């Protein structure tokens, strides 16, 4: 599965985050290891279709989700990096991430991708 790691402008991994009681965070106001990756339906390396999301990472949704969406996103970032590099503007790409509101969680799945109640 392809993904992009989120970093600060200086390259550091610790991101400011809203306080919460997530068992996955060491510090309530910091998040590390945050990525943008497949969200929605995707096909794994065994050819099986899965539906996925992530607590703590950003996933692509709607028409931009799944294998095709992440490949489109990665190709777009690479294209922009090449254009910036040719223009002597470096290879950093800014990504604006908007906070979601009233997220409708339809279901949760176990580590095998099976729905759990």
pTM for the whole structure = 0.59
DSSP 8-class letter at 99: P
User: How far is 70 from 76, CA to CA, in rounded Å?
Assistant: 10
CB 27 within 8 A of CB 61: no
Nearest CA among 44, 96, 92, 95 for reference residue 66: 44
Query: Rounded to 5 degrees, what are φ and ψ at 63?
Result: -65, -15
pLDDT digits (tens, 9 = 90+) for 93-109: 777 776 666 665 666 66
pLDDT digits (tens, 9 = 90+) for 35-85: 787 776 777 888 888 777 666 677 777 777 777 888 888 899 889 999 999
User: Do the strands 30-31 and 15-16 form a parallel or antiparallel pair, or are they unpaired?
Assistant: antiparallel
pLDDT at 62: 73
Looking up tokens 């910091």 gives 30
User: How far is 21 from 56, CA to CA, in rounded Å?
Assistant: 12
């Amino acid at each position: 599965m392809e993904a992009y790691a989120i970093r600060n402008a200086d390259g550091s991994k610790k991101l400011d985050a809203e306080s919460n009681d997530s068992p996955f965070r060491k510090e309530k106001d910091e998040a590390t290891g945050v990525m943008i990756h497949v969200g929605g339906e995707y096909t794994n390396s065994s050819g099986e279709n899965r539906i996925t999301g992530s607590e703590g990472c950003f996933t692509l949704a709607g028409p931009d989700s799944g294998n095709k969406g992440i490949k489109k996103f990665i190709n777009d970032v690479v294209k922009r990096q090449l254009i910036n590099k040719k223009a002597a503007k470096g290879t950093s790409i800014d990504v604006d991430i908007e906070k979601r509101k009233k997220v409708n969680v339809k279901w949760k799945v176990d580590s095998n991708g099976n729905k759990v109640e």
